[in-house]
Amino acid sequence: MAPIITLTTDFGTRDPFVGTMKGVILQIARDVQLGDLTHDIAPHDVIEGGLALEAAVPFFPPETIHLAVVDPGVGSARRPLAISARRQLFVGPDNGLFSFLFGAGEWRAVLLEAAAYRLPAVSLTFHGRDVFAPAAAYLAVGTPLHRLGPPVTDPVVLPWPAAYREGETLLGEVIHVDRFGNLVTSVRTGDLGVLGPSPSLVVEVEGKEIGGIVACYADLPVGELGALVGSSDRLEISAREGSAERATGATRGSRVRVRKR
């Protein structure tokens, strides 16, 4: 099977940035499958980019190369990295974008400094094209990770959104609002299990009770708010065929509370 390279950026699709990166990859690795994970990460939002990767990476085959560029520090002293973890490879800036990789399991990281695996001229404003895309392409054609540069043992790790228990209550936050207006939270299925069966639980957002936990969107009457565990194994607050964001006024960072009924 041809090597797979995914692309995740905050570039959007109006400008030619993503297409240019693909052109660089294809000059080096013609026999490669390119997949767009998303290019709609909010500009400069490293945490949102990392959460998107965290949700998607488990569904790709081993040896997939994930090229991710959410890089507000481009051109600065922040380091460019390639990482081997979870039987896959990752290429992008050392700014916390890959924090989810370093919590458990083995990993190796290298600094992308070998000139042979960059473009001859490196722009201070477009490392996606000149540094990261070539590195991903060379990995796709079988270049060993260690050839790209020296080891890095201290990658940037940002605090990752998580829920915590306070007595008989779970406290978390909204970490993402998807295009349907669903509020994705830091509360995971395993967190809910410590409180008891889902039907016995009540969810609140910013102190406002929105009801119990249902199995799927269709279990809610049209327009009604409720909560469910979504496909990313996180508690979501939703409005059937509507927007929970508009209905609650909540947004990223809004407090979420789960308690027994």
Decide: helix, strand or coil at residue 224: coil
Q: Is the distance from CB of 54 to CB of 43 less than 8 angstroms?
A: no
Over residues 52-65, the pLDDT tens digits come to 999 999 999 999 99
pLDDT band of 196, cuts 50, 70, 90 = confident
Quickly state the pLDDT bin for 9 (edges 50, 70, 90). Answer: very high
Would you state the CATH architecture of domain 4-148? 3-Layer(aba) Sandwich (3.40)
pLDDT band of residue 261 (cuts 50, 70, 90) is confident
pLDDT in tens, 213-243: 999 999 999 989 999 999 999 999 999 999 9
Q: What is the pLDDT of residues 111-128, one digit of tens each?
A: 999 999 999 999 999 999
Residues in the chain: 261
pLDDT band at 103 (very low <50, low <70, confident <90, very high): confident
pLDDT band at 50 (very low <50, low <70, confident <90, very high): very high
pLDDT at 23 over 90: yes
Please give the radius of gyration of the chain, using alpha carbons only, rounded to the nearest integer: 20
**Alpha-carbon 122 to chain mean position:** 26
Burial status of residue 258 (CB atoms within 10 A of its CB: 0-12, 13-18, 19 or more): buried
Q: What are residue 255's DSSP bridge partners?
A: 173
pLDDT-derived band at 26, boundaries 50, 70, 90: very high
**Tell me, what's the pLDDT at 13?**
96
Q: Label residue 200 by pLDDT band (50, 70, 90).
A: confident
Instruction: Identify the pLDDT of residue 193.
Output: 84
Name the residue ranges covered by the structural domains of the chain.
4-148, 164-260
Cα–Cα distance, 137 to 28 (Å, whole number):
6
What angle, 0 to 180 degrees and rounded to 10, lies between the N-to-C axes of helices 133-140 and 17-28?
30
Computed over every residue of the chain, the mean pLDDT equals 95
Q: Residue 248 to residues 51, 78, 174, 182: CA-CA distances in angstroms? A: 23, 38, 12, 11
Task: Place 198 in a pLDDT band, splitting at 50, 70 and 90.
Answer: confident
Which of 154, 159, 182 shows the shortest CA–CA distance to 256?
A: 182
pLDDT of 123? 97
pLDDT at 194: 82
CA distance 48 to 8: 11
Per CATH, the number for 164-260 is: 2.40.30.90
SS3 state of residue 31: coil
pTM assigned to the model? 0.93
CB neighbours of 166 closer than 8 A, spacing ≥ 6? none
Q: What is the pLDDT of residue 260?
A: 87
CB 7 within 8 A of CB 37: yes
**pLDDT tens digits for range 12-22:** 999 999 999 99
Whether residue 77 has pLDDT greater than 90: yes
